[in-house]
Amino acid sequence: MMTRLPPPILLIARYTAIEALRGRFLWLCLLAACGAAGLSLFVGQLALTESTATQAALAAAALRLASVFLIITFVVTSMAREAADKGLELVLALPLPRSAYLLGKLAGFAALAVLPAALFGLLTLLWAPPLQSLLWGVSLLAELWLVAAFSLLCAASLAHALPALAASAGFYLLARVIDTLQLLAHGRHASDGLLQQALTGGVDVLALLLPRLDLYARSDWLLYASGSWHALAPLLVQTAIYVSLLATAALCDFYRRSLS
């Protein structure tokens, strides 16, 4: 009797997640959680007032950075290792469309992102009401999906690990500060020169192309219980649009690539 194999996308996603778990991904997440908890205990002792809010703000920022760092590093190094080991050629020698491989990898990374988002979201229960922790955790997951999709695009198209890491980190930083950059560009102190106008135009175009990551996993939700499903909904829509855009761009590049 023949056993029926799961669809190739799920199979590739499963092995991507297994690879991460074997690479101590879970342990690193736990270590980051312990580090953030230790940091929060420390600052809680120092704060003159609003110690819980101070703990939540600093620990949430640290957890968010740690999870983004782990996801970017894993996505890029995993793709680079597979290219170096000729695993990619092996998989593509099978009767599989190229899209199955790339979407399988993306699904694997997306599934993996649930781990830090859930773990760190649970940790924020120490400082915030359950609903706010849940909202924060879900929006962190959405942020990690965006970061994973962009890292996959970079890793698949840039071929080398270092440029892919640099590009992913640059995208993340830019997407986090793009709103402030836009405010600065349009500020009262901006000059009216041609160069300034060109720069302002450039920043405006960038703002149209990038998702506003500063709206994701907001610390003020944890501090002032100001989050709501209503505030989360646009973030989920933005995530769906942008992950689709990045996945399509990665597929276009991947289909063009000659692997011989």
Partner 1 sequence: MSAQLRPFSSVPRALWWLLALCLLLQVGWQLSQRSSTAQVQPLPAPPSVALARLASLGEPQAMARAMLLHLQAFDDQPGVSLPWRTLDYAHLTGWLATAQALDPRSQYALLAASTVYTGVADPARVRRMLRFVADSFAQDPQHRWQAMAQATLAARHQLHDLPLARSYARQLRLQATGPGVPAWVRQMEVFILEDMDELHSAQLVLGALLASGQMTDPNELAFMARRLDELAARKAAQAGN
* Residues lying near partner 1 in the complex (CB under 8 A): 43, 46-50, 53-54, 57-58, 60-61, 64, 173, 176-177, 179-181, 183-184, 187, 213-215, 219-220, 223-224
For partner 1, the closer CB: 99 or 182: 182
For partner 1, the closer CB: 220 or 253: 220
**Phi and psi, residue 213, nearest 5°:** -75, -15
For partner 1, the closer CB: 36 or 158: 36
Are 80 and 161 in contact by the 8 Å Cβ rule? The answer is yes
Q: Which tokens go with 220? A: 């003020």
Are 144 and 67 in contact by the 8 Å Cβ rule? The answer is yes
Minimum CB distance to partner 1, residue 179 (Å): 8
Are 61 and 176 in contact by the 8 Å Cβ rule? The answer is no
For partner 1, the closer CB: 224 or 255: 224
Minimum CB distance to partner 1, residue 180 (Å): 5
Minimum CB distance to partner 1, residue 100 (Å): 32
Minimum CB distance to partner 1, residue 54 (Å): 5
Q: What is the rounded distance in angstroms from the CA atom of residue 166 to the CA atom of residue 101?
A: 24
Among residues 242, 15, 36, 30, the alpha carbon closest in space to that of 111 is found at 15
Q: What is the rounded distance in angstroms from the CA atom of residue 242 to the CA atom of residue 106?
A: 13
